[in-house]
Amino acid sequence: MIKYSNTSELEGLGEIIGQESAIKAMELGLKIDNPAYNIFVAGDSGTGKTTYVLNALNTYAQEKNDHKDWCYVYNFENSREPIVVALDKGIGKLFKKDMEKLIETLLDELKDAFESEEFEMSKNELLDDYEIEKEALLQKIKKYGEEKGFKLKSSKVGMIFTPEDESVDTSSEEFYKVKKELENAAIQVAYKIRDIEEDAKEALLDLENEIGKYIVNPHIENLIDKYGSFDKIKKYLEDTRDDILEYVYLFYMDEEELKDKYDKEHFTKYKVNLLVDNGLDKSGAPVVVEINPSPSNLFGKAEYEYYNGTVKTDFTKLLPGAMHKANGGYLVLYVDQLLRYNLSWDILKKTIQQGEITLDTQTAIKPEKIPVNVKVVLIGSNYMYNLMYNYDSEFNKYFKIFVDFDNEMKKDENNEMRLSRFIASYCNKNNLKHLTYSGVEQIIKYSTRITGDREKLSTKFNKIVEILVEGDAYAKIRGAEFVDKEDILKAIRERRERFSKIEKKMDESLEKGFTLISTEGSKVGVINGLSVLNMGEYSFGRPSRITVTTAPGSNGIVNIEREVEMSGPIHSKGVLILNGFLLENLSQEFPLSLNANICFEQNYGGVDGDSASGAELYALLSSLSEIPIKQNIGVTGSINQKGDIQVVGGVTEKVEGFYYTCKKKGLTGKQGVILPRNNLRNLVLLDEINDAILQGKFHIYPVDRIEEAIEILTDKTFDEVKQAAIYKLKIYSELDKK
């Protein structure tokens, strides 16, 4: 790594580190314009996957500019099915404002027109003409009656003729005949008057319509000129004009009268519901992150109001979901949140499949579906990916791109420098003190320790950031200009201290003698196995005393933990492997007759994993051969039936755990740990333990085969131990025959 004084001298890093494969997959997914090629991003927390995803999406979003504004408008043909309208971005707001302005203008202009003196004069002139015609008919029938000797009277039931001469004989046939003739004539006049009144009404409506057209048409035509190029807008504006002209009287009606006689929400139909507003100044396609993906938050909903005891809604109360807002761009969802809503996942798949959004209002209103073009990005863990892949047959149809974030990267000069530049960037961005070169070296060691591999660096940058922040605090306490090695080490130590309550309790139990562990001497059938305890993000190693007893019989090897249901399946498998090894190596000349009990002493929380199978075999051979095992050596490593020692996890914690146990009981210079040779690269020990190893105060014994381990533990050859064990098994076999 290039030498520098402190990270302020370095250029900041503007890229993600150690995720080349994931980046390639992500870029491929973003370049494929196919609704089935949605993306699943998997990886451990803290690897920077969310930050990278959002940065990548925002970069690609700048290259897309075909997203739309979406509006819902009234459907004059079917009010239950609002019409959706797509407009160029930023035009939706203008259209909404223009429609609001249209209605406001028409309310003023139509009211002024119909309350004007000119309109009153035209209306009165029209009505006067019809009144004259009506009066002429009445005068004509009146005169005709007078010629026949009758007077015309009007009543609530119509026109009535009475004789002028009261002395006339009203019972005569002539009188009856004349009166009947006049009554028939009066009926005909009444019909004509009714027709005249209807004509007057029609003429008045025509007058209103002409005035309405005169005022309304120019405004509508202006809007058609402005928006008519958009799909559906021209027809909607024409329907709006026809509806306004049909109900033009509502535009000049007194407000109180309108409220009393008509639905106060009549004018709602002329509104525009701007469902998605992408704005004129928004560059690039939308990138939407929905952290609470309930069905309504994802796919929209309708608001309701209670009116006269009933629930009401309309197209103006339709609200968008994240899918609407992301239309034409990208939608980011967190899998663990998404799967909390089974319905959301089902609707999401259906939406991708059909290529349109169904806004479910749960009422009789059924809004028109909106065509959708969204790249969906799911963020989750590898576990969730495998779960969905294996248990949902449709998952792979719609999420064909898998972006897998690794939690480690190769440790080389290039990546070490990139990590240094990441530290520089983070310090600059968050106003932290920069790190000295030795401080960065300690961060690199810590990063390697997280991976448990000397040849790797961790990509869990959240863990590194925590140490940077805490190291900065300790440097401030010292009053130092830069964060140095001692600040980083203190941050790491103090962090362990905060999480180490259980470890301290176990140390206390060991010191008081409650936990029986020997780190000196030798014992038959007793060995110090090593295990790792995980307490959330903190893990530490501890020795566990494993004991084995043997006797004649035919029960074979009994795993006491398994018998009391405290053994996990992998541990149980490891114990069964011991039987295979014994059969091949110790029982070729006679049947295997044996009662052997294996137990993890003082284990109250269960045990799993096969890393103790080697220790169990060594203790079993010790019990059979009656050759004691050194108690100053801890053992880890799994075995196979052929006697090979296989790698195990947590070797760093196991070695450190046994070291500190020995330290508490007194280091003798003879203590150490047997571990698989292939695990050496996984040893990333604390400086104190590395120094103890270099000074010969503590030892590491890497082995490949069981024979090597037996010789270290017993100071005898494997052949000697084997022959002693065979001798014991022959005795057991003879006893079993009897």
* Nearest by Cα to 302 from 292, 291, 293, 311: 311
Which tokens in the block code for residue 321? 């979901």
Pairing of the two strands 522-523 and 629-630:
antiparallel
Q: 654 catalytic, yes or no?
A: yes
Helix (H) or strand (E) holding 174: helix 173-227
The C-alpha atoms of residue 455 and residue 147 are separated, in whole angstroms, by 129
| CA-to-CA separations, 116 to 58, 110, 123, 279, 292, in angstroms, rounded | 58, 10, 11, 41, 57
The C-alpha atoms of residue 278 and residue 91 are separated, in whole angstroms, by 9
* DSSP codes joined into one string, 454-496: TTEEE--HHHHHHHHHHHHHHHHHHT-SSB-HHHHHHHHHHHH
Q: Give Cα 694 distance to the centre of its chain.
A: 50
In single-letter form, the type of residue at position 75 comes to N
| CA-to-CA separations, 23 to 19, 31, 47, 53, in angstroms, rounded | 6, 12, 13, 9
The C-alpha atoms of residue 51 and residue 56 are separated, in whole angstroms, by 9
The C-alpha atoms of residue 616 and residue 557 are separated, in whole angstroms, by 11
The C-alpha atoms of residue 734 and residue 719 are separated, in whole angstroms, by 22
Which of 420, 458, 531, 611 is the catalytic position?
611
**Which stretches of 568-671 are assigned E, i.e. beta strand?**
595-600, 629-630, 633-635, 638-639, 645-646
User: Dihedral sign, CA of 275, 280, 282, 286?
Assistant: positive
The C-alpha atoms of residue 580 and residue 146 are separated, in whole angstroms, by 137
Q: 429 catalytic, yes or no?
A: no
* DSSP codes joined into one string, 26-64: HHHHHH---TTB-EEEE--TTSSHHHHHHHHHHHHHTT-
Which of 89, 456, 654, 722 is the catalytic position?
654
Catalytic residues: 611, 654
